[in-house]
Structures are given as structure tokens and as C-alpha cells.
Amino acid sequence: MTHHQLRLAANKLLKIITACTLLAALSANANPVRIAVASNFKQTLEAILPAFEQAYPKTEVQVISGSTGGLYAQIMHGAPFDLFLAADSERPKKLLNESKALKIFHYATGQLVYWAPTSAKPVGTPTLISISTPIAIPNHRTAPYGEAARQTMANLNIAGKQFVTGNNVSQSFQFVDSGNVASGFVALSQVRNRVNEAQWWLIPAQHHEPIVQYGVLLSDHHIDAPLFLDFLMSDKTQTSIARRGYVRSRAATDSDQSLPQPIN
């Protein structure tokens, strides 16, 4: 092969590599940032998303919700998620240890509620003790809110109750909201500002271990996933999260990331 032919071949190869690189970049921008989120945080995530979309109009976000345990299993089986917002710290730490994630962060602490919408009196410990109908509860094996509910029952020495078990806290909420179950354990974010406060009882923190919610940036992530992470941990977003029934992240401070300005 002559020098001229070699140069032509090299130029052709360079064009192919450049085209492939450009195609990969365009493909990455065309795909959405996929956020796997524990069901308790789904409504809150959807409430804060418009501010992110305003700041980054070219970045599309797709939300996939489920139980923390169920989403963790999907990630371990290769689900193409970019960020995972769990309802515990256990599964995110496992993903980090198993080299499935690059970064771990605490984004909120959940709060457990006992909800009895048909109660004639303000709901509290006596309601939970006296109720004779089945209680909706998330599955403690896959949903941290379910484990917190189980710990609450044990710490209050309440036994002999019947339960209707949901896959996650959203299903527990649906059981009660539909009227199929008279009461149940749900997240504060699901009932706050939506139902009469007399219908629910915020479980005191001493009755269960903290529902510390961690997230991870997964190893094979969309190029824009870190943008959402910065947005999530910003002071303004954390303030919005706290208004919806969570204790804000320990990592976010007033001097931390501020809400990004909209792009013109």
C-alpha cells in the first residue's frame, strides 16, 4: 500500500471514529436520565421535577418507581438506571460496595404515619391499639417503611393484629385510600396537606429506626445525571422536599449548591 493510500485509509478511519463519537453523543442526549425511586418519594420527585426541567430544558427525565428492594434487584440484573433514590441506606451501600455505583448520598429522611380516615376521634396510639380491622402495611422485606411499621408495633407492645401487606408504601396507601382497608401505615409525604390532620398520627421517632433515605449515582450513568444530583442536593430543592413531609438531607446546607438558573 502506497503512502497516499495509507493517508486516505487513515483519513477514512478518522472520519468513521468522529462519526461514531458524534453519534454516541447524540444518542446519549436523546436518551432520558432514568431515575429509579422508592415509591414513597415518587410524588415528591414529580413535584420538584418542573424546576429542574426549567433549568435544563434539553434534559429529559424518566421516573421509575417501586419498592427499594425491588428496584435494587432490577439494578443487580442490569436495569439501565442512572440514579437510584432508595428508602434506606442498606441497598445503596451494597451497590457502592459491589461497584455498581460511583457515589452515595443522603437526600432525605422519611417519616412514618398511621392513617385511619374513618376514625371518629383524632388518630393516635389508642386508635392503633383498639382497632379490630386489618391494617395495611408495606412489606418489611422490601420496603423500609414496612420495617419501621413493624418496629413501631413491637415497641408499643401491640400484638394480635391482622395485616394486609402491600409491595411498597404506595400500595399500602392505595389500600386505605380506596376504602378496602380501614387504616394503615403510610409515609407522611402521602397524607400531608392532602387529608385532615386528625386522621393521621405521625409516629414518634423513638418508636423505630430512622428511615434514612440514600441514593446512588450508578456506574454506567447518563452524562446529565450529575446535573440532577446537584439539583436534588441544592438548598432550594431540599427546602421544597422538607415542606412535603421529609427531614432534609444532612449534606445540604445554605452554602451548598443553589438552584441552577434557567437556561435561556
Total residue count of the chain as it appears in this document: 264
CATH topology of domain 7-109+211-248: D-Maltodextrin-Binding Protein; domain 2 (3.40.190)
What are the pLDDT digits (tens) for 176-225? 999 999 999 999 999 998 889 999 999 999 999 999 999 999 999 999 99
pLDDT in tens, 51-76: 999 999 999 999 999 999 999 999 99
pLDDT tens digits along 89-108 = 999 999 999 999 999 999 99
Q: Examine domains 7-109+211-248 and 112-207 and report if their fold is the same.
A: yes
* pLDDT in the model for residue 193: 82
pLDDT for the residue numbered 244: 95
Strands 33-38 and 61-66: parallel
Provide the mean pLDDT of the chain: 87
Give the residue with greater pLDDT, 1 vs 26.
1
Calculate mean pLDDT across residues 44-54: 97
Per-residue model confidence (pLDDT) at position 69: 95
pLDDT, average across residues 125-147: 96
What does the domain layout of the chain look like in residue ranges? 7-109+211-248, 112-207
Q: How many other CB atoms are found less than 10 A from the CB of residue 32?
A: 13
What's the pTM? 0.80
Are the beta carbons of 68 and 94 closer than 8 angstroms? no
Q: What residue type is assigned to position 44 of the chain?
A: T
**pLDDT band of 155, cuts 50, 70, 90:** very high
- pLDDT interval class at 19 (50, 70, 90): very low
Contacts of 125 (CB under 8 A, 6+ apart): 156, 201
The per-residue pLDDT for 7 is 57
- 210, with CB counted inside 10 A (0-12, 13-18, 19+), is middle
Provide the pLDDT for residue 2: 62
Beta-bridged to residue 185, according to DSSP, are 114
Homologous superfamily (CATH) of 112-207 is Periplasmic binding protein-like II (3.40.190.10)
